Amino acid sequence: MGCDRNCGLIAGAVIGAVLAVFGGILMPVGDMLIEKTIKREVVLEEGTTAFKNWVKTGTTVYRQFWIFDVQNPDDVAKNSSKIKVKQRGPYTYRVRYLAKENITQDPEDHTVSFVQPNGAIFEPSLSVGTEDDNFTVLNLAVAAAPHIYQNSFVQVVLNSLIKKSKSSMFQTRSLKELLWGYKDPFLSLVPYPISTTVGVFYPYNDTVDGVYKVFNGKDNISKVAIIESYKGKRNLSYWPSYCDMINGTDAASFPPFVEKSRTLRFFSSDICRSIYAVFGSEIDLKGIPVYRFVLPANAFASPLQNPDNHCFCTEKVISNNCTSYGVLDIGKCKEGKPVYISLPHFLHASPDVSEPIEGLHPNEDEHRTYLDVKPITGFTLQFAKRLQVNILVKPARKIEALKNLKRPYIVPILWLNETGTIGDEKAEMFKTQVTGKIKLLGMVEMALLGIGVVMFVAFMISYCACKSKNGK
């Protein structure tokens, strides 16, 4: 009887040990299975989870606009006073609802090329007003004229046309005109062929962004979705090659197995350059653990603060010999127009940039850009891309509308917040198909290991107790 009991206890201990060992063996095997599955599903080819969501996002993406309404236009034009602005918004549009087109796989270099159609649909229920709301803003054509045409004689001619068209330094335009284009009265009088339609985002609807060419990850998963080349309507050739202009993904996804130490690089045609985000915090997004990566202040720093930005300083006067920071001159990829990009309300900009403007209130929470990335897959499940469009206006003695200015201004026109969050239904599907399976496998691994250890210890204690008792 004692022998039978001892044998039973030994057998139980052995079973426990086997379960513990099996659980321990299952852990690396499970990790390998997870890694293999993820690597298969994030490749950009027909039939994968990544490809389906990449062709057409299942997330509703909105672009909100806040317009800087100038409160003292006459005072600025006559006395070169500080520009007082009041932001009005949001005015919301739905964007990125169109599927990618001209998708072409290249099996030789493992890339896929495509174009992204542009479209914007106004959402009245998410806006404070209508597209017909009017604003007092800088006259885009008048401000750009002396910047593009610096010859004195040409400026005299342009001045006569500006006066004839009754144009001035500031103008009143509707939201729809300002964003998507209007026929400018001054440019319409220019006696040689030029584009007479002006708008901050003109042209946009019925245009495409690209052609993009990205790696599909088939041969190297660490390169999946990374842009190999870009050929778009914007001229990017002015950046020196050492700036590594086209670098990273389009921010919709990144190579899988993202670590906190990784710098996520992505390209944005809106600002004509690549930029990057660094780890900020861990958050829970609808039950899904994600890493939040944020755009650091250093990304818009001056070359003195961040030597990596030395080739993005393309002029010395407005930038105070490249010591100003927080704004990026992208005029050379905007057909020479004096366009500057910054974070909203000149967040993280040097004091000299915002000093001539009253009514700005930079706020880190409202105005920063961030990406919420699922680390194991590299998918971006939530994001907020925030940027501000500014126009440089300078004194011009030959143009009456600008002759009273005593200093240059980088004038804020508007700022935008483009956001997207994984929907509830898609979040549940993601948790079931990805997060849930990983959690289940992990629970099985730990359960087997835990049960095995407990059984082994319990049966060994019982065996020792029983043996000690029989010994007595």
**pLDDT per residue as tens digits for the range 376-397:** 889 999 999 999 999 999 999 9
Q: Which of 27-31, 317-321, 359-363 holds the top average pLDDT?
A: 359-363
Does residue 53 surpass a pLDDT of 50? yes
Express each pLDDT in 124-155 by its tens digit.
Answer: 999 999 999 999 999 999 999 999 998 999 99
Give residue 465's pLDDT. Answer: 55
Q: Domain coordinates of the chain in residue numbers? A: 63-95+120-204+235-430
Nearest in space to 232 (alpha carbons), one of 261, 255, 207, 259:
207
Task: Output the pLDDT for position 146.
Answer: 92
- Which tens digit of pLDDT belongs to each residue from 185-202? 999 999 888 899 999 999
Give the per-residue pLDDT at 240.
Answer: 47
pLDDT value at residue 440: 47
Q: Which of 107-116, 398-407, 431-440, 456-465 is the least confident region? A: 456-465
Q: Is the pLDDT of residue 469 over 80?
A: no
The whole-angstrom separation of Cα 97 and Cα 94 is 7
Residue 253 DSSP code? B
Q: What is the DSSP letter of 448?
A: H
Mean pLDDT in residue range 60-66: 96
Question: pTM value?
Answer: 0.85
Indicate the average pLDDT of the chain: 85
The residues near 458 (Cβ < 8 Å, ≥ 6 apart) are 12, 16
Q: Could you give the CA distance from residue 328 to residue 243 in angstroms, rounded to a whole number?
A: 14
pLDDT at 8: 52
Name which of 18-32, 309-323, 379-393 the model is least confident about.
Answer: 18-32
pLDDT on residue 332: 79
Q: CB burial class (10 A; 0-12, 13-18, 19+) of residue 22?
A: middle
Locate 261 and state its tokens: 């130490």
**Amino acid present at 447:** A
DSSP of 331-385: GGGTTT--EEEESGGGTT--HHHHTTEES----HHHH--EEEE-TTT-BEEEEEE
Of all residues in the chain, what percent carry a pLDDT higher than 90? 60
Average pLDDT of span 45-53: 88
> Which pairs with CB-CB distance under 8 Å and at least 24 residues apart come from 261-268?
264/293, 264/371, 264/373, 266/371, 267/227, 267/230, 268/385
**Burial class of residue 51, CB neighbours in 10 A (0-12, 13-18, 19+):** middle
Mean pLDDT for 45-59 is 87
For range 448-466, the mean pLDDT: 50
